[in-house]
Amino acid sequence: KAGVTQTPRYLIKTRGQQVTLSCSPISGHRSVSWYQQTPGQGLQFLFEYFSETQRNKGNFPGRFSGRQFSNSRSEMNVSTLELGDSALYLCASSRGQGAGDTQYFGPGTRLTVL
């Protein structure tokens, strides 16, 4: 099976702009989770989508949003970018059936905000 894919791999934006990141899960996986990784805060959970519905949400401002499509692909959007949004954004997919499903990660999107 193909792994989790994320596009783009690298992004450079300026403050105030918005950005959309995309994630394609492993075939058959219905749950997609997003994480932000920074040197200072480590890995932090953003949100989880399952069957096009947000099932879980972390402690991030409303500028961070996401959605999931009927084919389980997911996008996350960050509006009004701030310097502190510079991070590696990781997407992970799992079956989503709640039985200790392992999350498999994509290669990440490196976002730099100038």
Alpha-carbon separation of residue 19 from 28, 31, 47, 94 (angstroms): 27, 22, 17, 25
State which H helix or E strand residue 89 sits in: strand 87-94
Contact predicate 78/64, CB 8 Å? yes
- Out of 13, 20, 22, 58, the only residue in the binding site for another protein (CB under 8 A) is 58
Q: Nearer Cβ to another protein, position 17 or 47?
A: 47
Piece in contact with another protein (CB under 8 A), picked from 21-29, 66-74, 76-84, 94-102: 94-102
Q: Does 60 bind another protein (CB under 8 A)?
A: no
Interaction mask 17-56, another protein, x per CB under 8 A = ----------------x-x------xx-x--x-x----xx
71: nearest Cα among 34, 23, 113: 23
Piece in contact with another protein (CB under 8 A), picked from 16-24, 68-76, 85-93: 85-93
- What are 35's two structure tokens? 């994480």
